[in-house]
Amino acid sequence: MERLRLDDPPQIGPYITLARLDAEGTAATVPERRLIARSADGDRTVIACLPRIGADPARWAVEAEGARRLSIPGLLPVTEAGGTAGFPWHAAQYVPALPLPAVLEAQGGPLPEAVVRSLGAALAQTLATAHAQGVTHAGLCPAAVLVSAEGPRLTCFGAVRSAAADSEQRAGLAGLDSGSLAPEQAQGGRPRPLGDVYALGAVLSYASTGHTVPERDELPASLRQLITACLARDPAMRPQAHQVLGDLTSSAPGTAPQGTVLDTAAAFPLPALVVAALARQSAQVLAAELPTLLPPGTDG
């Protein structure tokens, strides 16, 4: 749980902000602003999301409303959306969760291959379900993946799509997405499912190596061919999401099959250091006291 900054709003709709979800210094790689907030009566704690400073708030609000209407397992459910044209927001019920970059920080480096496989399988299943419904996520990157004890949840739905629609913002998208943006989308093309597969390859690379644009030899041998295929510049050379899922749920050489979201009896595998980091965040949120908001116009 990260401290609020001076430019963070003290209140988002009916919720009072408690902390940032993302660490200081990561703003350039997070497609939207995410804060932990609580209702004034203390009954509800949420992850509240706002558009990045400089983004088109109206376009972001359209994407937020679209996400609220979706019901796809593996997407963080958007339970509320509101605000004004200049200050839109949406919220999801809070569960202890860390953005994937914070997971690697807690772990002290890349994740074990078994965890990468389970993470990738869960994300691939979510994307395959979305694609079967004619939905493209269009905002997948390491920061968009929230990891909880129950598995990963995708956030930032359409955040990159909103930015890609503005030609003036396209030049900054490579930094925003840390290499996760498919080449055809970076050039202004319409977001399509195979663009999500490219981003999934970048996320798997990040989880395996600590960055999204690896040297081929850095990747785990049993994942090298799959990740390289996902990151093909030609969309026609990439597998589809359901094919990625099939590859990841098969056994790696010398290992037992890994439980995924397809196997509800299997717990999502997380390293002990990551479990400890999730427990610390949960304890901090539970112990957090609501700040006292001054009435409008009051100095101090």
The structure's pTM equals 0.86
- Residues 136 and 130: beta-carbon distance below 8 Å: yes
18: helix, strand or coil? strand
Exposure string for 203-242, b = 16+ CB within 10 A, e = fewer? bbbbbbbbbbebeeeebbebbbebbebbbbeebeebbbbe
With a cut of 70, list the residues of the chain below it in pLDDT. Answer: 1, 25-28, 158-178, 251-267, 292-300
Q: Which two tokens stand for residue 139?
A: 């905002």
Tell me the C-alpha to C-alpha distance, in Å, between residue 92 and each of 20, 254, 280. 14, 40, 20
Determine the pLDDT at residue 290. Answer: 83
Domains of the chain: 11-96+277-287 (3.30.200.20), 98-274 (1.10.510.10)
Confidence at residue 153, expressed as pLDDT on a 0 to 100 scale: 94
pLDDT value, residue 66: 82
pLDDT at 65: 82
Whether the Cβ atoms of residue 196 and residue 131 lie closer than 8 Å to each other: yes
Check residue 258 and give its pLDDT. 44
pLDDT tens digits along 84-116: 878 999 999 999 999 999 999 999 999 999 999
